Amino acid sequence: MVLWPRTSNSDFQIDPRRSSTDTVTRLAVMITDWWKWAVVGVVGLLVLAAAIVAYSVWGSKTETDAATLLSKAATLLETNSTGGPEAAKREEGIRLLQEVINRYPRSGAAAEATLRLGAHYYSLGNFNEARKVFTAYLEKNPNGQIAFSAGLGLGDAFLAERNYEKAIEIYTRLIDQFPKEPLLPEAQLHLATAYQGAKRVTEARALYEKIVAAYPNTGWAQRAQTEFYKSSLTSP
């Protein structure tokens, strides 16, 4: 067995008291470091929570501001006059709708403003502007919350201008894209009307029959039956 020589050098002697003191010191440092990281973590969580609350408040304020502008626009557009002060009010209403759409594009008010603006242009017979409004929305939000309604409005604008083939294209794509849409039979009725306008009577009548079979005892079925009867009177 090898015996390591003992040394009398005090530097190599272990002092139990110093060893105990060092241990306590290291432990204190570890605890202090742990608390530093704990404080950092808590502060980080507080900052994150504050950011979430701020975002929620900002989002609520955004919706409120957008809804306020939308309400003002709707009030201004209630006029039916085409000249004088009332016409100026209508133009201001249109401007406010466009502001809602541009400033708050992700808000629910922007979706409603889009439908209101497109419908307003349609009611004035300005089908080109109506198409622009609906097309702009669909290009940015092909699956947005009002994509079906915007698509229906777009098809109706073409239908009103007797561009039947383009209307057929829009309605067909809409029906294929949203097969479970609650208002699907409305789009089917519009498509059948476009078929009739394009002299595609056989396709129109087949679609009317499909609507009657799929939605019995509904207003859609009654309208389809009426149009089917009319088509039978006018078809060669």
The answer to whether residue 199 is domain-embedded is yes
Query: What was the pLDDT predicted at 126?
Result: 95
Amino acid, res. 175 = I
Domain tally for the chain? Answer: 2
Q: What angle do CA 157, 188, 230 make, to 5 degrees?
A: 90
Q: pLDDT, tens digit, for every residue of 175-222?
A: 999 999 999 999 999 999 999 999 999 999 999 999 999 999 999 999
* 225 compared with 19, residue with greater pLDDT: 225
- Domain CATH code at residue 213: 1.25.40.10
- 32 pLDDT higher than 90: no
In degrees and rounded to multiples of 5, residue 78 shows phi and psi of -70, -20
Q: Helix, strand, coil % (nearest 5) of the chain?
A: 80, 0, 20
- Report which of residues 26 and 224 the model is more confident about: 224
138 or 84, which is more confident: 138
Question: Are 207 and 232 part of one and the same domain?
Answer: yes
Whether 1 is in a domain gets the answer no
d(CA 20, CA 184): 82
The predicted structure's pLDDT at residue 22: 57
Q: What is the pLDDT of residue 165?
A: 97
- Residues 99, 137: one domain? no
Same domain (yes/no): 232, 143 = yes
pLDDT per residue as tens digits for the range 80-111: 655 667 888 889 999 999 999 999 998 889 99
More confidently predicted of 36 and 156: 156
The pLDDT value given to residue 208: 97
Last residue of some domain: 105, 124, 143? 124
Cα–Cα distance, 115 to 109 (Å, whole number):
10
Domain that holds residue 147: 127-236
Using the predicted structure, report yes or no on whether residue 43 has a pLDDT greater than 50.
Answer: no
**For 61-65, 152-156, 231-235, which range has the lowest pLDDT when averaged over its residues?**
231-235
**Per the domain annotation, does 35 fall within a domain?**
no
